[in-house]
Amino acid sequence: NFTMFPQSPLKARWRLVLLSTLLFCGCLSLSGFNPAVLALPAAAGPHMQLPDATLACKNATVLMVGRTTPFSGRDKAIADRLSARGMTVVQRAHDVATVDDAKGKDLIVVSESVYSNVLGDIYKDTAVPVVTWEGWLYPMMGMTAKAENSDFGETYDQQQINVVNPSHDLAAGLSGIVTTHTRPSLFHWGVPNGNAIKIATMSGFDNRYAIFAYDAGVQMVGQIAPARRVGFNLADDYMSQNGAQLFDAAVDWALSCSTPVKQYTLTITIEGNGEVLRIPDQDKYLAGSTVVLVASQAAGWMFTRWEGDINSTENPLVVTMDKELTLRAIFTSNGAEPTATSTPAPSTPTGTPTGMPTNIATSTATATGTATATGTAVATSTVEPTVTEAATATAPPDATATATPTPTSTTAPTNTPSPSPSPSPTYNGSSPLLVAQMNDQLVEDADQDGVSSPGDVIGYVVTIENMGNQRARDVQFAVATDPNTTLIGDSITTSQGTVITNEKAGGGSQIVINIPQLAGNGGQVIIEYAVRINNPLDSATDEIGSQGSVSSANAPGTVTDDPEAQGDANPTLTPIKAQARLRITKTDLLLVDADVDGQVSSGDTLLYVLQIYNDGNAPALDIHMEDTPDAHTTLIPGLVQAGAARVTAGNGAADRRVVVDLDALAGGGTAMTVSFAVVVNADIGNVLLRNQAATTFHDIVGGAGGALVVISDDPDTAAATDATLTNVNLALAQPNQFFLPVIKR
């Protein structure tokens, strides 16, 4: 879907997307623009394409009225365009035109160059369609009421209109904010009555219509329309391709030879947990229009790709509506829910003790007389070799009998807490005995806050010791890392043995170390590895845990113990600081290349898309974002979009900055999207536009106190929290290859 342009004068690090037709903010459609005047096709260049006219349009005879004849300048360009479409154009000057000139004509076109008081209302009752962009004729023709600057008027320094009725033929397949001129021009407008067909307003004004029309037979202001009437903003030698497209549509509709506009449906489904923002959000889209899709993941999820009619990992994704489209946004979990880890209860031994007793239990046998015998069992599994002799309790001298304690006593096992390190267990017999400890430590404090938090690295040190007097054979250590962490592969070391790793389904990794043998009498293996805490982290996660297991061919199995916790079989738990962690990316896109020069220049429109992520594991409260566009640009009011957040400033006619507020944003990677557009000011020369947003918020965990501040980052650079920079009229100091995507029509 893209064409590559090497050696573009844009900085290679930018991600400026030239969109040939971009629908923006629910009301914006922009096409590629033509810098040429409305001239003959031979002079207009390849961008000035003429629409295919029906036979009725090609055979039409048009009466065109201008100030003088023969036409020159903009009037000549309009007449030449009509002629190039196969129409016959009859020219008349405004001071000699008569009502009889309309006889036998299929259409009357009245230029803004006429003096309204000279031409007058001579065509008011003519049953011939009329297209005009002379605002002072609107009340004379019964198209508006008569109050100047209230019912009709003109506005200087305009380039854009807002197409509010995109499904009508008069909209020419365009929608929303449309740049109709390549430089600021004079626009005429009117306020028609409720029977009018209202197509486009002046940008920033909801009730001043730049394009409107009346169908034949409907009630206008003071009279019935004798034929179709069209009010148009302006046709001159600075019209863009969009402006020319709208002019052609006005002519075709007035002549009743419009081509039906095709519309297509865009169906979006979601797999996983997240949402998709459409710009604009509509049920149907005009053929050839373009939609921006922005995927935002929910807490604990990550957007990975688009599937369906388009397969891509781009986000935002720009799609051209040239057919019915169905896409699926795929979100994947950052990790499975943490597996609950419990300390196994000691088993109760049964039968006669063999070799090393299998439980820490106190069994009491009473001998004849006053003797009481006690036997102590260790909580491990049955050990080789098997000792068949019964444990004997020895009575004092006055005892008359010997008592044999039975390990099936119902006395509960006693696990006596031991300080770290645990004392060596009592051991009698000839066999290996394995014990293991796991220590954790913060080895990389990514945010320098002194505590374990998302993005930090936790290191583990595992010590396996054989406290028996025989070597242990085929020892194996295995541990599953917490699913809320990512194993750092090259961090695994062992003092002996072979390392094996693999990924676990649902997140985390499995580490296995095979040790052929471990000497007795204190032989040790030291194992080290490190994990990075996921960032973002699921908002429900306040700790990560790990516990390994040790097995052997000839020794009891065991699990690792956290020496800092009471007991002898505790998982190693690392508390995670609960906090909100905002991150903001700001991407610039070349929305309208008004002069089609392939670089950002005066008159172009830039789209900024901000993504605000909460990568923490606690909600961010009272989010307040402010963004003041560069002084060399002008904010387009009414186009700020912020989803569920409140647009406090930016959509008012006098607003010069964007302010967005949100009460709370959940953690775990939850994102919100803010977008707005600016126009590069005229004749600013070679400058570097700088734009950066600042956001304040409160962390619920931190309690009362000052707000935290986060500034936006350009995601296309390696630098952190750097402003989004845009070159205007500047070539690169050093040649770089830049691939500029262009949507094909």
Q: Does residue 71 sit in helix, strand or coil?
A: coil
d(CA 317, CA 279): 10
Is-contact 428 378, C-beta < 8 A? no
| Interior/surface letters 148-168, b for 16+ CB within 10 angstroms, e for the rest | eeebbbbbeebbbbbbbebeb
Residue 163: partners with Cβ closer than 8 Å, 6 or more residues away: 27, 29, 171, 174, 175, 176, 177, 178, 199, 200, 211
What confidence score (pLDDT) does residue 570 get? Answer: 92
What's at 182, amino acid-wise?
T
H and E: helices and strands count for the chain: 5, 46
List the end-to-end C-alpha distance of the chain, in Å, as a whole number.
9
CA 293 to chain centre: 8
d(CA 532, CA 538): 14
Is-contact 393 371, C-beta < 8 A? yes
Q: For the chain of 745 residues, list the mean pLDDT of each consecutive stretch of 10.
A: 27 33 33 28 32 61 95 89 92 95 95 92 95 95 94 89 92 88 87 95 89 94 94 78 89 81 86 84 76 80 91 87 92 59 40 36 37 39 38 39 38 40 48 94 86 90 95 94 90 93 73 94 95 80 90 93 89 87 89 80 89 85 91 90 90 90 85 91 83 84 59 88 83 30 29
101: which DSSP letter? Answer: G
- DSSP collapsed to 3 states, 117-162: HHHCCCCCCCCCCEEECCHHHCCCCCCCCCCECCCEEEEEEECEEE
Gyration radius of the chain over CA positions: 40
Q: Hey, CA dihedral for 218, 220, 224, 227, is it positive or negative? A: negative
d(CA 120, CA 141): 9
Beta strand extents in 207-347 (DSSP E only): 209-214, 229-231, 263-264, 266-271, 274-279, 285-286, 290-297, 301-308, 317-320, 325-333
CA angle 582, 587, 588 (to 5 degrees): 150
Phi then psi for residue 246, to 5 deg, are -70, -35
What's at 330, amino acid-wise?
I
d(CA 546, CA 531): 11
Going from the C-alpha of 425 to that of each of 166, 360, 377, 512, the distances in angstroms are: 83, 10, 10, 27
Classify burial at 186, counting beta carbons within 10 Å of its beta carbon; exposed 0-12, middle 13-18, buried 19 or more.
Answer: middle
Residue 93 burial (CB count, 10 A): 17
Q: Does residue 272 sit in helix, strand or coil?
A: coil
| H-state helical runs in 518-644 | none
3-state DSSP percent of the chain in helix, strand and coil, to 5: 5, 40, 55
Beta-strand pair 325-333/266-271? parallel
d(CA 152, CA 666): 50
- What DSSP string runs through 568-587? SS--EEEE------EEEEEE
Ordered by where they begin, the domains of the chain are: 52-254 (3.40.50.880), 434-535+542-575 (2.60.40.1510), 582-728 (2.60.40.1530)
Q: Hey, CA dihedral for 234, 235, 236, 237, is it positive or negative? A: positive
d(CA 17, CA 14): 9
Residue 654 burial (CB count, 10 A): 7
Is-contact 488 508, C-beta < 8 A? no
State the DSSP H helix or E strand holding residue 90, giving kind and residue range, or none if neither: strand 88-93
Beta-strand pair 229-231/130-132? parallel
